[in-house]
């Protein structure tokens, strides 16, 4: 092979060290070709390990779908190699990925599209995990998200065990093997806690809980102290703007009393701005803002790790989670339902109306169940080539609202039975809603073993 081939046809027949390593990578879905259309030759023929899930030919996998090939290729660049030899061997055997060429330059794209690359000294495989918490969180999130994508691909059950161990690899193995590891940024992971992409969302939640799990109770308490100022006071009660100075008004005693003036003004405001429905209420804070990140981090600390916070923080968290439960964002509603139900006894004293929470969760759960039933009975569509397209997938949240509702019901059996009973006998409701109320009563009986001790007897 000659050495030429500049920028014309994709690199020509270049035999440089970096090009050779790239051509020997088993991650290409098809043979790489030079400027004349002929397959590029390798210098050496090293033995190839064949993946159990995806058989490999001389150049790459046989009949590998393009989306899976891209996921595998990206995963090979994002994974932390050289930390656990057994994990590396399983990735090569089960998934068919291997370490990329050592001449790659890693970097990130920041504000304004500006690129920042690591210096040559930091190109070692362990150095890029020691640069900053942001970069550690970024690459960990990318690797786990890609592994989740491969794990959810239908027809490839053989790779699921290895892909599921990627979370453990980044949450346990890598921190133990790298004493100088920069811990992942909690704020970065929290900003993807409600990501609209299911695989990214699951990865962010697993990595966030893993990062908090590695902390000592004293470290978690310092995290609480660091994020508390971003939460209190809640931003959804902004101070009223100072009205412009005007001429002095007549004394209240000359026209109306102070109580009458206050009542009249409040009535006019409510008449001019009718209350919005729960689905239309704007979220008083952005999930990616400092307040939104504080709500998610402190909520996870309280729910998953029992962090001790001031009652004032409990009240602010409860108020923010209730606002998030009524927000237009489906991902935000799911996160709020999960956090409120997992630590319901913690929030209970700060809930203004526990019955309203049960009704809200019931409405969401019934709507999710109806959407799942509609997706299951929908006829299969025809593809572009006349073949039958895969059946529509039910919504991934069809069980989360149900689980949250039952968890609250176990803690509030009397109130839960009263609300579900009222929904079951409400004649103006659709039949599916009434049947759902009965089904949730049955689910509570199966889930709660001691519910009869506090359930009213009639």
> What confidence score (pLDDT) does residue 361 get?
94
**Confidence at 178, pLDDT banded by 50, 70, 90:** confident
Tokens, residue 229: 């100022």
Q: What is the pLDDT of residue 253?
A: 42
181 CB-contact burial (10 Å; exposed 0-12 / middle 13-18 / buried 19+): middle
> Which of these, 198, 196, 199, lies nearest to 150 by C-alpha position?
199
Mean pLDDT throughout 423-439? 89
Containing 109, the helix (H) or strand (E) segment is strand 107-109
Cα radius of gyration (the chain): 29
| Mean pLDDT of the region 175-191 | 90
Which residues on neighbouring strands pair with residue 108, listed in sequence order? Answer: 116
Provide the 10 A C-beta neighbour count for residue 332: 22
How far is the C-alpha of 29 from the C-alpha of 62, rounded, in Å?
A: 8
Handedness of CA 19, 20, 21, 23 (dihedral sign): positive
Which residues contact residue 336 at a Cβ distance below 8 angstroms, ignoring those fewer than 6 apart?
Answer: 321, 322, 324, 325, 327
The Cα-based distances of 3 to 6, 12, 16 in angstroms read 9, 8, 8
DSSP letters of 156-222?
-GGGHHHHHHHHHIIIIIHHHH-TT--PPPHHHHHHTTT-SSHHHHHHHHHHHHHHHHTS-HHHHHH
**How far is Cα 271 from Cα 275, in angstroms, rounded to an integer?**
9
Give the pLDDT score at 378.
Answer: 66
pLDDT band at 103 (very low <50, low <70, confident <90, very high): low
Q: What angle do CA 283, 286, 291 make, to 5 degrees?
A: 110
More confident site: 45 or 439: 439
Q: What percent of the chain has pLDDT over 90?
A: 30
Among 103-112, 133-142, 249-258, 308-317, the least confident range: 249-258
Q: Which of 122, 142, 127, 123 is nearest to 78 (CA)?
A: 142
Q: In this predicted structure, what is the pLDDT of residue 395?
A: 54
Mean pLDDT of 357-369: 91
**Interval 2-54: pLDDT, tens:** 343 443 444 333 333 333 333 333 333 444 444 344 444 444 444 444 444 54
pLDDT-based confidence at 60, cuts 50/70/90?
very low
**Ramachandran area for residue 56 (φ above 0: left; ψ -120 to 50: alpha; else beta):** beta
Buried b / exposed e along 250-273 (16+ C-beta atoms within 10 A)? eeeeeeeeeeeeeeeeeeeeeeee
**Average pLDDT score over the chain:** 74
From residue 53, alpha-carbon distances to 168, 180, 232 in Å are 21, 35, 51
| Long-range contacts (CB closer than 8 Å, 24 or more residues apart) made by 355-360 | 355/415, 355/418, 355/419, 357/322, 357/325, 357/408, 358/405, 358/408, 358/409, 358/412, 358/415, 358/416, 358/419, 359/419, 359/423, 360/278, 360/325, 360/326
């Amino acid at each position: 092979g000659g050495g030429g081939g500049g920028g014309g046809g994709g690199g020509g027949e270049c035999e440089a060290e970096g090009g050779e390593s790239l051509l020997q990578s088993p991650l290409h879905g098809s043979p790489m070709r030079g400027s004349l259309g002929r397959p590029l030759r390798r210098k050496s023929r090293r033995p190839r390990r064949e993946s159990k899930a995806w058989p490999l030919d001389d150049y790459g996998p046989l009949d590998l779908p393009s989306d899976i090939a891209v996921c595998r290729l990206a995963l090979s660049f994002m994974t932390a190699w050289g930390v656990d030899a057994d994990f590396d061997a399983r990735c090569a055997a089960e998934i068919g990925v291997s370490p990329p060429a050592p001449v790659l330059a890693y970097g990130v794209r920041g504000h304004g599209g500006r690129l920042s690359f690591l210096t040559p000294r930091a190109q070692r495989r362990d150095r890029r995990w020691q640069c900053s918490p942001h970069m550690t969180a970024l690459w960990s999130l990318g690797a786990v998200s890609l592994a989740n994508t491969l794990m959810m691909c239908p027809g490839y059950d053989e790779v699921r065990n290895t892909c599921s161990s990627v979370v453990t690899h980044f949450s346990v193995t890598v921190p133990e093997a790298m004493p100088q590891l920069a811990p992942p940024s909690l704020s970065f992971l929290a900003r993807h806690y409600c990501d609209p992409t299911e695989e990214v969302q699951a990865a962010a939640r697993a990595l966030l809980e893993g990062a908090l799990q590695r902390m000592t109770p004293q470290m978690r308490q310092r995290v609480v102290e660091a994020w508390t100022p971003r939460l209190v006071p809640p931003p959804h009660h902004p101070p009223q703007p100072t009205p412009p100075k005007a001429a002095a008004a007549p004394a209240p005693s000359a026209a109306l009393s102070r109580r009458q003036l206050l009542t009249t003004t409040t009535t006019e405001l409510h008449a001019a701005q009718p209350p919005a429905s729960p689905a239309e209420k704007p979220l008083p804070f952005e999930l990616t803002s400092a307040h939104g990140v504080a709500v998610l981090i402190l909520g996870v600390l309280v729910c998953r790790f029992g962090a001790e916070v001031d009652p004032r923080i409990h009240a602010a968290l409860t108020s923010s989670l209730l606002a998030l439960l009524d927000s237009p964002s489906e991902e935000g509603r799911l996160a709020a339902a999960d956090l409120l139900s997992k630590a319901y006894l913690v929030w209970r004293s700060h809930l203004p109306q526990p019955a309203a929470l049960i009704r809200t969760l019931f409405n969401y759960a019934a709507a999710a169940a109806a959407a799942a039933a509609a997706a299951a009975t929908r006829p299969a569509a025809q593809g572009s080539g006349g073949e039958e397209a895969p059946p529509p997938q039910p919504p991934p949240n069809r069980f989360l609202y149900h689980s949250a509702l039952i968890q609250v019901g176990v803690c509030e059996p009397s109130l839960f039975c009263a609300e579900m009973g009222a929904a079951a006998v409400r004649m103006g409701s659709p039949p599916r809603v009434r049947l759902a109320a009965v089904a949730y009563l049955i689910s509570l009986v199966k889930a709660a073993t001691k519910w009869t001790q506090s359930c009213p007897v009639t």
